[in-house]
Structure 1
Amino acid sequence: MPKPYPKEFRDDVVWVARNRDDGVTLEQVAADFGVHPMTLSKWMRKSDIDDGNKPGTTRLPYQFHAVHVTIPGGRTVLGVQAVWGRKDTVSVPGWPVAAAPVVG
């Protein structure tokens, strides 16, 4: 089995693919870096998940913290803050996840 590409390389290739000029295909970007187009597509999908742009399980480690959250009506409750990628989400018991405050 081949050795995985370094994370810095994968991140750079994904950045180039996302910021490519009009008319430049993913296949061309992949060829320029010597990777298979499907590999680049998978890296982009994983990056979207890690950045919180698409649902899925992130590769980044989660960190959980207990926080006090003031909810509508002025009441303060204990919640859980999950930190991952570039976004912080505060979960309050009894609130649907979609209604929880998001910072980032």
Structure 2
Amino acid sequence: MHPSESWLATASAALDHHPPIPATALAHAQVARRICHDRFADSANRYLYLGLRWEVEALEVLAARDWAEAIKGLRIACGAYRLARHCGRGTWIERAGGRGVRRCMAMGVYALGAG
């Protein structure tokens, strides 16, 4: 396993142990982004990183209650996670990408309900 994969696995696992609510999701996503910053080996890792990055940005905007921008960021993050899931087929990245998609969808539902 390439070192970037272990950083991404750690970050993704850390995010999945917390409920998808704005108060905690942002802090955990920021930690995940710091763990992974610029440390990817291939396209699957890169897309997973980009998903994490856009998820953090969307959560920051969501915390500021800009619902439309948050939904846009969550859509981009969800797309990156879907690409990671596709490129990482048969690996842990496929599962992490799937969990990222579910997190973004849950936060999108929250934003739509709150906005």
TM-score, normalisation: structure 1:
0.30
Please identify which structure carries the higher strand content. 1
Q: Which has the higher contact order (CA 8 A, sep 6+)?
A: 2
**Radius of gyration: which is bigger?**
1
Return the structure number with greater helix share. Answer: 2
TM-score, L = length of structure 2: 0.28
